[in-house]
Structure formats: structure tokens, C-alpha cells
Amino acid sequence: MKKYTHINDIDDIYSWIKAANNIKSDPLKDLGLGKNKTLVMLFFNSSLRTRLSTQKAALNLGMNPIIMNVSGDSWAIEFADETIMNGNTAEHIKEAAAVVSQYADVIAVRAFPSLKDKEKDENEFVINSFLKYASVPIVNMESSIGHPLQGLTDAITIAEHTITARPKVVLSWAPHIKALPHAVGNSFIQAMQKMDVEFVITNPEGYDLNPEITKNTPIFHNQSVALKEADFVYAKNWSSYDDYGKVLKTDSNWMITKEKLGSAKFMHCLPVRRNVVVEDAVLDSDNSLVIEQANNRTFAAQLVLKKILENL
Amino acid sequence: MKKYTHINDIDDIYSWIKAANNIKSDPLKDLGLGKNKTLVMLFFNSSLRTRLSTQKAALNLGMNPIIMNVSGDSWAIEFADETIMNGNTAEHIKEAAAVVSQYADVIAVRAFPSLKDKEKDENEFVINSFLKYASVPIVNMESSIGHPLQGLTDAITIAEHTITARPKVVLSWAPHIKALPHAVGNSFIQAMQKMDVEFVITNPEGYDLNPEITKNTPIFHNQSVALKEADFVYAKNWSSYDDYGKVLKTDSNWMITKEKLGSAKFMHCLPVRRNVVVEDAVLDSDNSLVIEQANNRTFAAQLVLKKILENL
Amino acid sequence: MKKYTHINDIDDIYSWIKAANNIKSDPLKDLGLGKNKTLVMLFFNSSLRTRLSTQKAALNLGMNPIIMNVSGDSWAIEFADETIMNGNTAEHIKEAAAVVSQYADVIAVRAFPSLKDKEKDENEFVINSFLKYASVPIVNMESSIGHPLQGLTDAITIAEHTITARPKVVLSWAPHIKALPHAVGNSFIQAMQKMDVEFVITNPEGYDLNPEITKNTPIFHNQSVALKEADFVYAKNWSSYDDYGKVLKTDSNWMITKEKLGSAKFMHCLPVRRNVVVEDAVLDSDNSLVIEQANNRTFAAQLVLKKILENL
């Protein structure tokens, strides 16, 4: 594999899920594969799970992870072409990506969207600039419009906990006080569209995600209708896509409660604001899969790195 | 050993000192013990010695250390139960501790007190929350009211430099311009109470530490009386315990001088403000053990990690 | 080798270049040399290439790199002797350097100049304090007045791309909006003075570097005269040395263009501001060596660490 920047880089999701489960059952079996190989992880934004699980995955493969917080440790990066760099940015992505490529066998990048400039965000200018100017494989640790390591993790987790032939999976918008990106929602949708599940989305009016991503997945503006007979409820907040980056409502009626959940399994990518997105009673119950999801982040990242290392 | 969060986790201090000396004489002898084991070190506060010596200890055991500055690298953590998280905190300790446990074989945590809310600080809410919600052993890298890696280090250093049968050890308060925690003082007191030494404390009135910790250790409000015939003088500033977190005086008369020290050995946990806490002439003399103390931090941490690894 | 803090620590530059090329042809051949040795890298300032390439070099030698951002992770350090530390600094370099020496086999330090106090900067108080108080070898990762890892890299790169008997090398000042240090310019000059090249410097009046460093190297205040028949053009901005730390002009006439460059090779230490220091057409052409320079940083650092490790 030459890169992992989008859910579409997964050729056959069920074979990937199987491979991830194999890794999970014996995480150290490929310890020799990454020997003397370096994973440089570049963070433009905060991270806990992605930061730690990707390091852990690299270590399980015998790789040397090198971490850099781009803004704190290094120089502000310019992404625009043909610009006169007499402002705040000190280094152009053309140099940065090419240079880091010489110290890394694989580069992983996290860069959140502005949520202000829709076109710029949708162009994925950070991750695409790395793809263009780096000479080594790129892994997306969450970009403007996608979080494919999380989407893969979620597919693995759903497969692991599926007990019916074709489970019903509901992605439900939930309230939040801040304007959040669409990346997790988008990648989850794209992962579910590749799986043999009954998949529906529910969100308030004005919160429909990009129709090029939701495609023909049913969208319900009535949460209780959508949640009926769900096997998995995936809660996530996102800001408006139409009224780009805006928080239109923080209506606590959309919070996931134990009553709404019933016997379904609860999922969330974390971090989650308790009693805003979902009530304590859900997270503290056996129905919650959130900790297991976080655990599976290691194996998703390890699978991706393994596929890349095997192809170096 | 299942955890190391308090000096009382030491069962027999003399056998620990002996074990630490064994490690010091051959630091790499257990290089295989931590192979493919991960130590996640979480810093809520600044650190130099603890940060470097604990990493070094982990490397000496063959472990993979992963470092995270919680505030800078990750999300603000909520510790209160049953709260509606619509403020500045983005992730609850219930999730954070459980999640990190899945990427770590051991978690080490540094979190200083507020020095504003005595009850909250004394409840050790950070370290205790990790003990409660993490599923792997926890090591205290300095918490609100204790710094047991330092206390163990100090015991090792005193044993190493003891030349009389039962040395006199004096813990002396010293001036400082800022309000400092009680953690180092507390753990030193608790370590000395476990050892066969003549131990006394001296501090100005209003600076007596928690009586549940000082217990029957003599406290002198006259420094010169306390220092008489001392073999070891351990200087440390702390803010008031009674008038919680306040700086009542910064009287330079309490600074440790070469004259006051006489032939005693000088100790301090570092960092130390020269010519405020102690004069140059002391630190630059052969009587100072502060660099050797810092050296022993590695072996104290290595002993603790070794005991934990042997029990995983 | 006991230290690498200055270009003059290179005894024979051509044998060093040869040794670096040997490393470059087989970077992992000394993987056993640094086993269980620790490189502590201390950053007082931002870094990308130095940070990553030095880590990579350490890993290629089997060393364990430990990274610390001094200001963010640790305590503010005092460098003045006999001072009463009742201000912002919490730890004296005497303790800091001695303490870190106990966790490190080699210490590497990056500390930029103030550009305000010429005498203090020229005294190299940070790097010299580490040399004085540390008990292990020190590597300079860019100090007030020198960047010898960069200077060595540049010598390696020029040797690698030399096709004529005695190439003409021009160091040209170039415009920049900020006041920049003299370190890269100084070390490049000192490296070139050791090589068998025709070396000239060109900069506007008022921008002559320290005459104790430029010595008898010709300085042209007319850029076009200096650039004539150049084989290598090394562009770099620096602030005034005479009017210390000041930006006297940002005249875009001094920017390096494709037309000025002709068939010469272009060099820069990076990060570089595009279309301020040099135009896109140069950086995007085959004449640019900047990415190769960055690549050679790894091998320069690896050679230095190797020489130090062989002497431990």
C-alpha cells in the first residue's frame, strides 16, 4: 500500500477486518517488519488516542516513532503556491514535506479544518500537499474531511460485536457547545457504506452532511424514528455543513440517553463530553463500546502501517 | 507490586535501598525485563529530573517510554463525577484513564496541587482517579501531597552517605518567592519515619506541615537549635498548610548557609533557587549531595518499574 | 572526540567528508555502536531539520534519543553566576547541566542568541555553560554564533556536487523580514575556509559579518560582481553585526533569482521564505540542492555522534 489517507484506500473491508483481528490476537507477531524504520508523526492539532495508539502500533511493528508538534516544536508552514512569504509562515510545505521524507520511512499527519473556508477545507490542502510533495507513504491521522483510521476502527469494532445477520447501525448527531469538524462522521459513513449493514443517519435539519458523502444513505431528521430497533448507535457532533462550520443548535433533546439506546450498543470516537453528547448512564453501562473502540485504534493503525511496510 | 503512588507502598525500606544499590551497580542487568512493554508518562506539569530519569529508568529496563504533555498535546480532562461537561474540559478521566490503559503496560502521572482547594488537593483527585479508572499499574511522578519517587531517592542517598550509626537528619524549611506544594516535604518525612535516623523538622511558625504526616516527629521553630549536630540537612520550601497555599514570609534568615551547615551534608530535590533557598557556597561545596540525589532518581524509578514489571 | 560545538572541532575536513559519505552509503552499519546509550536533546528554540535529523542519526547508531523542549517541558534556566534567583528563573545551569549529564551519554543543545546583547551572545553563554558544567560530551545544535552541524553538512554537500577542480562558492546575504542570527553564515564561512574552494561573500554595506570570522575572505557589496562564474550560491539572511541585531534593509533586489543563479547550484539551510530570500523558479529547479542538504544533516550528525561514541 502506498498511502492511507481515505477510507477508499481500503480495497476489501472484510479482509481488512479479518487481518486486524489477526493482529489483535497476537500484536507482536510482526515485530521484525518495521525494524530500523522510522514513523514521523506530525501534529498540527491536539491528540490523545491517535497519538498514543499510532505510536503503540509502530512499536508493535518494531518501528521507531518520532513525534513532532508542528506548531510548538517547529516552524509555521505555508501551503499556498507562488506566494511571497513575508508574513507569519516561515517554511513552505514543498520543502517541509520533502525534507521530512528524508528522515522518515512513513509520515503520519494530523491537521484539522479551519471550519471557515469550506472550499479550502474540502480541498484537503494539508494532507494533499503532503501527498504531492513527500516522497514516502502518508497516513492520515485526521484531516479536514476524513478520519480514516477511526472509520476503520469503527468497522472493526462493529464486526466484532455483531450478533445478528445484518445489524442496524445508526449515526446520530448529538449536541456540543463547540463547532466540530465533519471528519469522523464522514469516514464512519464511508466505512458503513462498504459494509453489509442497515445504515441510517439522523441529525437535526440544517445538519445534513455533504451529500456527495452521504449519497443514498437515508437521513432522518426525527431521531426517535431513526433509533428504532438499532443494534449500534454511533453518536457524534458536527457543525453545519450547509451553513459551513456554524453551531445552529445545542438542543439537549438530541443527547443519547439510556432510554433512547435501549439494548443497542453505544459508540463514540472520544473524547466525549459527558451529559452533553451522551448521559453517564450510557457510558457507564455494558452497552458502551467506547473503550473497546479506542483499543481497536491500535490494531487499525498497525494494520495500515503493516500494509505500508510490506510494500516499501 | 501493583502501584507506586505513596511512600507507604514501600514494604521494607532497607531491602528497597539494597535493591536500588544493586541496580545502580549494574543498571542494564534487567534489560530484558521490560521488552515490548510500554510506559506512558503523562505530565500535567513541568518536569526535568522526573521526566528524564524515569525515561532513563524505563530504557534501562528495555521498556518503550511514551511521553505526553496532557495540556499541550491532548485535551483538558474533567475529574468531577456526574457533571455536565459544557465548559473547558473535553474528556472525562473515566475515559482518559481507561483508554490510556490500553496503550500502556504502566502509566506514570505528574499532577501538582491547586494550592487553593485544600480538600480537593488532599483527596489526591488526579492520582486517585487514575488508580480508580485505569486498568494498569500507576506510578506517582509527584501528586498533590506526595512525591514518593523523590522520597525513595532521598532514603537511598542518605543510606549511601551515612557514616555514623544513627545519623541526625534535619528537614529545614527555606525561603522562596512562590507558593510551593507540600509533596516533597511530605514524602521525605514519611521516608525518614521508616528509617533508623534521628529526624527533626524545622520551619517558621505558621509553616507546620499536616500533623497527620509529621505525627510525632519533633518540629522546631528555631532553625539553629534544630540544625545542631546535624549529619544531613534537607532544605525545601513549602507554602503554609494551615493558611493553605499562602506565602507567609520569605525571610532570608532561613536560607541555608555554609556557616549553618557546618560539616553536615546538604540535600535538596532540585530545582533550587540559588542564594534564596541556599547560598552558592553550599551548593558548590563537597558537602552538597544534590547532584547525587538527582542521579539516584534513575535508580529509584528503575526499582519501582522493576517491581511492577515483575508482577505484570 | 570530546565535543562538537564549533567547526574548529573538525580536524581534517576532507577526512570527515569521506567518513560522512561512508555513513551515507550504509547508514545502519554502526547500529551497535550506540546501544543502550542515551542522547538527550535540549531545545531552547524551534527546530525541524535539526530535531528530526539528529534523532534519525542517533537511531541509526542504535542510541536512545530523549527530547526535551526546555521552556515548555521544564524550568526556566539561570545562567548568571552569583545571582540571587528571586526572579523568573527556577534552576541554575550548574545544576541543570550536571543533572542532565547523569541521564545522558551525550547532550545536544540548541539555543539561539538574543540578538540584543552582542557581548553576551558572543560569549556563547548557553553552550559554554553546558561545556563547563556538564560531565558528558556536548553537541551544538545551533548556538548564538555557530551552527557547526549545518556547516559540516554544507561542506559534505559541496564536495558531493563539485565537478570542477576548485569550485567558486559564493555566500550571499538575502532579504528577510525578521532579524535573524549569524550562526549559519558564520559556520558556513568557517567550513569554506577549511576547503580548497574559491570562496567569496557578498552582502549590502552594513551587513559585514564579524571580521574575526570572515578574516581574509573577500567581501563584495555588489552582488552581481560576486556571483560571476559561481559554481555554488549559498543564500542566507542575517541581521546586522555592526548595528547588532538590526534589520537595516529588506531590499528585494538581493533576492536570488534564476537569472542571477545561471548554471550555479543553489544552497540554503532551510527554512526558507519563498520569493523573499529566493524565487520559486530557483527552488523548483534542478539547480537547487536544498533538499539534499537537509538529507545530509542526518549523516553529518551521525558522523559527529559516531566520533563521540567511539571515544566514550
Pick from B72, B270, B275: which is nearest to C91 by CB?
A: B270
Cβ C169 vs Cβ C192: under 8 Å: yes
pLDDT in tens, C79-99: 999 999 999 999 999 999 999
For C149-292, CATH gives 3.40.50.1370
For residue A218, cis peptide bond before it (omega within 30 degrees of 0): no
pLDDT in tens, C220-238: 999 999 999 999 999 999 9
**Given a cut of 90, is residue A285 above it in pLDDT?**
yes
* Residue of A49, A50, A59, A293 to mutate when probing chain B, most B C-beta within 10 A: A49
The pLDDT of residue A130: 98
State how far residue B178 is from chain A, nearest Cα, in angstroms.
27
| Chain C positions in Cβ-Cβ contact with residue B69 (cut-off 8 Å) | 72-73
Is the domain defined by B7-146+297-309 classed in CATH 3.30.1330.10? no
The pLDDT of residue C212: 98
Residue B258 makes CB contacts below 8 A (sequence gap 6+) with B279, B281, B282, B285
The pLDDT of residue B89: 93
- Cα three-residue angle B71-B74-B79, rounded to 5 degrees: 70
Mean pLDDT calculated for residue range B20-28: 98
Model confidence band, residue B144 (pLDDT cutoffs 50, 70, 90): very high
Subunits with at least 3 CB pairs below 8 A relative to chain A?
B, C
Q: Is C123 on the interface with A (CB under 8 A)?
A: no
State how far residue C222 is from chain A, nearest Cα, in angstroms.
24
Portion 265-294 of C in contact with B at CB < 8 A: none
C-alpha cell at A186: 464522514
Pick from A52, A273, A280: which is nearest to B100 by CB?
A: A52
Is B276 close to C100, i.e. CB distance below 8 A?
no
Model confidence band, residue B249 (pLDDT cutoffs 50, 70, 90): confident
Strands (E), B8-96: 38-43, 64-69, 77-78, 91-92
Mean pLDDT calculated for residue range B304-312: 97
Q: What is the Cα–Cα distance from C80 to C92, expressed in whole angstroms?
A: 8
Cβ A143 vs Cβ A130: under 8 Å: no
Upper half-sphere CA count for residue C230 (Cβ side, 13 Å): 29
The pLDDT of residue C74: 85
User: What is the ipTM metric for this complex?
Assistant: 0.96
The pLDDT of residue A95: 97
**Given a cut of 90, is residue A74 above it in pLDDT?**
no
The pLDDT of residue A75: 86
**Given a cut of 90, is residue C251 above it in pLDDT?**
no
The pLDDT of residue A87: 92
Is A103 close to C31, i.e. CB distance below 8 A?
no
The pLDDT of residue A121: 95
Least Cα distance to C5 among C110, C119, C153 occurs for: C110
Model confidence band, residue B251 (pLDDT cutoffs 50, 70, 90): confident
Is A275 close to B85, i.e. CB distance below 8 A?
yes
The pLDDT of residue B47: 93
Domain-wise residue ranges, chain C: 7-146+294-309, 149-292
Alpha-helical segments (H) within A123-168: 125-133, 148-160
| Chain C positions in Cβ-Cβ contact with residue A132 (cut-off 8 Å) | none
Q: Are strands A91-92 and A77-78 parallel, antiparallel or unpaired?
A: parallel
| Chain C positions in Cβ-Cβ contact with residue B46 (cut-off 8 Å) | 73-75
**Given a cut of 90, is residue C267 above it in pLDDT?**
yes
Q: How many CB pairs under 8 A join A and C?
A: 86
CA-derived radius of gyration, chain B: 19
**Given a cut of 90, is residue B71 above it in pLDDT?**
no
State how far residue A33 is from chain C, nearest Cα, in angstroms.
16
* Side chain identity, residue C249: K
State how far residue A177 is from chain B, nearest Cα, in angstroms.
6
Average pLDDT of chain A is 97
Least Cα distance to A120 among A97, A93, A143 occurs for: A143
State how far residue A216 is from chain B, nearest Cα, in angstroms.
33
| Chain C positions in Cβ-Cβ contact with residue B273 (cut-off 8 Å) | 85-86, 90
pLDDT in tens, B97-107: 999 999 999 99
Residue corresponding to grid cell 463514540: A268
**Given a cut of 90, is residue A172 above it in pLDDT?**
yes
Subunits with at least 3 CB pairs below 8 A relative to chain B?
A, C
Cα–Cα distances (Å) from A156 to A23, A24, A188, C103, in that order, read 12, 11, 11, 42
C-alpha cell at C49: 531539520
The pLDDT of residue A273: 97
For the stretch C73-76, contacts whose Cβ atoms lie closer than 8 Å and that sit 24 or more positions apart, written own/partner, are: C73/B43, C73/B46, C73/B47, C73/B48, C73/B51, C73/B69, C74/B46, C74/B47, C74/B48, C74/B51, C75/B46, C75/B48, C75/B271
Judge residue B166's burial from the number of C-beta atoms within 10 Å of its C-beta, 0-12 exposed, 13-18 middle, 19 or more buried.
Answer: exposed
Is A274 close to B78, i.e. CB distance below 8 A?
yes
The helix or strand, by DSSP H or E, that contains position A233, with its residue range, turns out to be: strand A232-236
| Chain C positions in Cβ-Cβ contact with residue B112 (cut-off 8 Å) | none
**Given a cut of 90, is residue C22 above it in pLDDT?**
yes
Pick from A55, A275, A294: which is nearest to B83 by CB?
A: A275
CA B77, B109, B232, B285 dihedral sign is negative
pLDDT in tens, A32-52: 999 999 999 999 999 999 999
Q: What is the Cα–Cα distance from B44 to A106, expressed in whole angstroms?
A: 30
| Chain A positions in Cβ-Cβ contact with residue C294 (cut-off 8 Å) | 95, 98-99, 102
Q: Is A62 on the interface with C (CB under 8 A)?
A: no
The pLDDT of residue A200: 98
In this structure, CATH architecture of domain C7-146+294-309: 3-Layer(aba) Sandwich (3.40)
Q: Is C184 on the interface with A (CB under 8 A)?
A: no
Q: What is the Cα–Cα distance from C251 to C273, expressed in whole angstroms?
A: 14
Equal CATH topology for A7-146+297-309 and A162-288: yes
**Given a cut of 90, is residue C73 above it in pLDDT?**
no
**Given a cut of 90, is residue C249 above it in pLDDT?**
no
CA C188, C189, C193, C197 dihedral sign is positive
Could you give the percent of chain A with pLDDT greater than 70? 100
**Given a cut of 90, is residue A229 above it in pLDDT?**
yes
**Given a cut of 90, is residue B110 above it in pLDDT?**
yes
Q: What is the Cα–Cα distance from C286 to C266, expressed in whole angstroms?
A: 9
Mean pLDDT calculated for residue range A237-258: 94
The pLDDT of residue B72: 78
**Given a cut of 90, is residue A275 above it in pLDDT?**
yes
Is C86 close to B271, i.e. CB distance below 8 A?
no
Is A68 close to C48, i.e. CB distance below 8 A?
yes
Q: What is the Cα–Cα distance from A140 to A143, expressed in whole angstroms?
A: 6
Could you give the percent of chain A with pLDDT greater than 90? 96
Average pLDDT of chain B is 97
Q: Residue C60 pairs with which residues in a beta bridge?
A: none
Subunits with at least 3 CB pairs below 8 A relative to chain C?
A, B
The pLDDT of residue C75: 86
Q: Is C99 on the interface with B (CB under 8 A)?
A: yes
Alpha-helical segments (H) within chain C: 13-25, 49-60, 70-73, 93-101, 118-122, 125-133, 148-161, 183-193, 211-214, 223-227, 258-261, 280-283, 290-309
The pLDDT of residue C72: 79
Q: Residue C42 pairs with which residues in a beta bridge?
A: C68, C109
Cβ B76 vs Cβ B89: under 8 Å: yes
Q: Is C72 on the interface with B (CB under 8 A)?
A: yes
* Residue of C267, C273, C280 to mutate when probing chain A, most A C-beta within 10 A: C273
The pLDDT of residue C250: 79
Q: Is C80 on the interface with B (CB under 8 A)?
A: no
Is the domain defined by B148-293 classed in CATH 3.40.50.300? no
Pick from B43, B60, B291: which is nearest to C98 by CB?
A: B291
Cα–Cα distances (Å) from B126 to B105, B121, B202, C111, in that order, read 19, 9, 30, 35
| Chain B positions in Cβ-Cβ contact with residue A72 (cut-off 8 Å) | 72
Cβ A219 vs Cβ A202: under 8 Å: yes
**Given a cut of 90, is residue A238 above it in pLDDT?**
yes
Mean pLDDT calculated for residue range C167-174: 98
State how far residue C104 is from chain B, nearest Cα, in angstroms.
8
Pick from C64, C74, C83: which is nearest to B48 by CB?
A: C74
The helix or strand, by DSSP H or E, that contains position A286, with its residue range, turns out to be: none
Model confidence band, residue B238 (pLDDT cutoffs 50, 70, 90): very high
Pick from C49, C69, C274: which is nearest to A85 by CB?
A: C274
Residue B93, number of CB atoms within 10 A of its CB = 21
Model confidence band, residue C63 (pLDDT cutoffs 50, 70, 90): very high
- Cα three-residue angle B274-B276-B279, rounded to 5 degrees: 55
State how far residue A141 is from chain B, nearest Cα, in angstroms.
14
Nearest residue of chain C to residue A134 (CA atoms): C291
Cβ C157 vs Cβ C197: under 8 Å: no
CATH class assigned to A162-288: alpha beta
Instruction: Give how far the C-alpha of residue C109 lies from the chain's centroid of Cα atoms, to the nearest Å.
Output: 12
